[in-house]
Structure 1
Amino acid sequence: MGAFLAVAQGSDQPPVFLELHLSAKKSTKPPLCFVGKGVCFDSGGISLKPSKSMGSMRFDMTGAACVLSTILTLAKLGSELPFDVIGLIPLVENLPSGKAIKPGDVVYAMNGMSIEVENTDAEGRLILADGLCYADTFKPSHVIDIATLTGAILVALGDSAAGVFTNDKTLWKEIHKAAANTGERVWRLPLYKHFSEQVKLESIDLCNTSKPSFQGLGGSCIAAAFLKEFTTSNSWMHIDIAGVVERKGSNPLYNTSMTGKPLRALVEFCELLAKSS
């Protein structure tokens, strides 16, 4: 897990890769696997963020919290699912130091792919890359990763919906239905081959941002295309929740800070999946 460990090396706090299992009483189907981004504080690393916005970067573990809460909620509800639910949560801090990863460094993911770290503030996709590789070892029916991954999703969708990228139309229909049932909007965005080409290099497999000619364009789609390289699943979904995690309007369902979205939708998704299995 070289990509995961590379992000963690700037901090004095050791990384943790948390693995959770909710076992079905009668498991008759392959497991469902969630992967949650757990950057417990994100300064941007050597590619340092502006200090004005850095205080809120302790919330960059919201994807991890969502995965943990989904499994905990299913357990408390006593949901009788015909499949196990697995949660994989890479936990790190992204900090600058003499030990920190530097722009231009090359790291290797669990599947052996080489990655040039063009920007240390694009660290979430690095830890998710290893999480997705590890998820494949369980031979799951579906793999879903949840992350506060890009500011670009906020530009595209505002705080109205989480962005969804998937290679499975049926999976999209299920999460869309679950989101509609719970009032937590999702919106599907493209995974064109065009975006995949922007993260591929000649001498190194991938770049963690994009080619110079495409810098600053389609950031959320670029990040999703990068993640797609690390899963062999034909039923994978990436949910970018960066735009929906903080309450920005008046809604009695949520407190004055973090919303917990899309927790309700994910729990409902699991229940719907159980009924259709």
Structure 2
Amino acid sequence: MNFLGHCRKLITRRGIWLSRRCYSRIEQLKTERRSMCPTDLIRRGAVFGIYYDPKNTVNPYGKLTETAEKFNQRVCGRMEEMLFVAGMPVKKGEIRTLFDLDPDLCAIVIVGLGEECQGYDIAERMDEGKEAIRQAAALGCQELQRLNTKIIYVESFGHAESAAEGASLGSWIYQTHLSKEKQLIIPDLILYEDCDWTGWQIGLQKAAAQNLTRQLMETPANELTPSMCAQNAVEILCKSGINVEVKVKAWAETLNMNAFVAASKGSCEPPIFLEISYYGAHREERPVVLIGKGLTFNSGGINLKSCDGMRLMRGDMAGAANVIAVCRAVASLELPINVRGLIPLCENMPGCSAMRPGDIVHAMNGKSIEIENTRNAGRLILADALVYAQTFWPRFILDVGTMTEDVYRGLGTGACGVFTNSETLWKYMEAASMHTGDRVWRLPLWNHFTHLITHRENVDVRTQGDEYGESCKVAAFLNEFVPCGEWIHLDTYGVMYEDGDDPKYLRQGMSGRPTRTLIEFLSQMVCQRPDEEKPNKPC
């Protein structure tokens, strides 16, 4: 019997008495919840799903997921009864909280998943089904979290990995500096009656990596100076068996990393260069090089930013946080790939020794750079890191950082901008973003933009060039320091911060994007067919 028929049967057989009984019980529990301490009432909870398609006349009130239907039968149909009284249908993104259904579960949350047969949407460049699962798992866990639930059982909704991602990302909140009585409980998440334990663990690892990125990005700049960030990286990565080498200013000067050193001169905090090594394959195999922009605070230097412009600059080290989190996840997932992470760390401050507009410095490869605007410190530190990366004869190079506001104006928070000289890398990055729901969009890497930053007669490269096309010019600038091989650049400025509205599984604050996409990208590269990868000659 379908759900509608069951509801009609309940109404005809039990009539108003059933509705009044359930309604009275719900109101009684709501009153008790208000009057009692939540920690005394709520300990364990569960999240289930329900499909709803307004065009479906067979099940106009929706259809419970397979797991939810089994639980409903276990409680003799009482979940459907209370759900019908609580209000039907449950549309996509809506929730219904039910109490007193099971002696072991103090609260049950039913979340709307939308249509049952959702899949890849070519227009949206996203797997809508997986994204709906993430949203549902997050909404359910957040509702139970507000009720001080310590243990939450989450069904797989048909894809355990996505459910784990949504549940873990949605439950996380930065509350390091809150007093304990104001902090929310971060619940333990358990997969409910599903055999896809591997998928669930992979989802938890990916979400944990993004949450680590969020944690580092949210940390105030006075608590995450370059030296403190290096110390945190060592503590985090060494526990996972990853080697971390900490290079100091003298080392950078010896290698003529003058662009990197110049960006740090305005701060009393010395620059630090992190070199991370993970060997998941044979040591002779060429590594993937990940480079993260590590400006732990960007005041703009002499070209000082406004107060509002500096409000989120504690997160300007998002690229560094991405690389640290991705390396830890790669080690936790034991991916058979060699990874070398390079993170130049410094602050851009307006000190007495700070770089000035019009200064010219020579990068590690000997090219001269005219500093037109001191706010552009990020591209300076990445330039030397890109040149240094060539010493490892990399399989390919990936750099990531919050580079320009232009990409935010163009794409908003919908996607991060991607520039690459490799069609293969772009295809894998696009496929990874479709799977994770954290989208990317390719932007042009044309000679037109290269001309705009290299046409000066007295200098090799300019940091800014003409007024427009800033994100494309940054990519062109960085490309000048990639002499050979495949390379992909991600500008993540637009996705640095979330307002908590879309997607629902990321609360307001630093987003940690695109950590999961990078992990999925590397996972797919592990499975890359040999004929798809063109060997690069060493520089």
User: Common fold, TM-score beyond 0.5?
Assistant: yes
Cα distance between partner residues in 1 of 2:347 and 2:444: 30
**Which stretch shifts more, 241-250 or 92-101?**
241-250
Shift of 1:27: 4.4
Q: Name which of 26, 29, 33 aligns with 2:285.
A: 29
Residue 5 in 1 paired to residue 241 in 2? Answer: no
Cα distance between partner residues in 2 of 1:6 and 1:28: 35
Q: Name which of 499, 516, 520 aligns with 1:264.
A: 516
Question: Is contact 1:142-1:233 (8 Å) kept?
Answer: no
Identity %: 44
- Residues 162-190 of structure 1 deviation map (CA, whole Å, 9 limit, x = unaligned): 00000000110011111111111000000
Shift of 1:257: 1.1
- Residues 207-243 of structure 1 deviation map (CA, whole Å, 9 limit, x = unaligned): 1100xxx22x101000100000001233101100000
Unaligned runs of 5+ in 2: 1-256, 530-539
Q: Name which of 15, 18, 26 aligns with 2:274.
A: 18
Specify the alignment match of 2:379 in structure 1: 125
SS of residue in 1 equivalent to 2:296 = strand
Residue 206 in 1 paired to residue 458 in 2? Answer: no
Task: Please report the TM-score for the alignment, with normalisation by the length of structure 1.
Answer: 0.95
Q: Name which of 487, 493, 507 aligns with 1:255.
A: 507
Amino acid of the residue matched to residue 527 of structure 2?
K
SS of residue in 2 equivalent to 1:238 = strand
Amino acid of the residue matched to residue 323 of structure 2?
V
Which gives a bigger RCO, structure 1 or 2 (Cα 8 Å, sep 6+)?
1
SS of residue in 1 equivalent to 2:325 = helix
Q: Map 1:97-246 to 2 at 5 A.
A: 97-200=351-454, 201-210=456-465, 214-215=466-467, 217-246=468-497
**Which stretch shifts more, 46-55 or 124-133?**
46-55
Computed over aligned residues only, the root mean square deviation of the Cα atoms, in angstroms, reads: 1.1
Shift of 1:97: 1.4
Q: Name which of 52, 73, 77 aligns with 2:308.
A: 52
Shift of 1:12: 0.2
Cα distance between partner residues in 2 of 1:160 and 1:39: 24
Cα distance between partner residues in 2 of 1:139 and 1:234: 9
Shift of 1:48: 0.6
Amino acid of the residue matched to residue 15 of structure 1?
P
Shift of 1:25: 4.0
Cα distance between partner residues in 1 of 2:390 and 2:489: 15
Q: What is the number of residues matched between the two proteins? A: 271
SS of residue in 2 equivalent to 1:54 = coil
Cα distance between partner residues in 2 of 1:182 and 1:114: 40
Question: Is contact 1:143-1:233 (8 Å) kept?
Answer: no
Which one has a bigger Cα radius of gyration? 2
Cα distance between partner residues in 2 of 1:67 and 1:107: 27
Cα distance between partner residues in 2 of 1:25 and 1:141: 13
Shift of 1:113: 0.5
Specify the alignment match of 2:320 in structure 1: 64
Cα distance between partner residues in 1 of 2:483 and 2:285: 18
Greater share of helix: 2
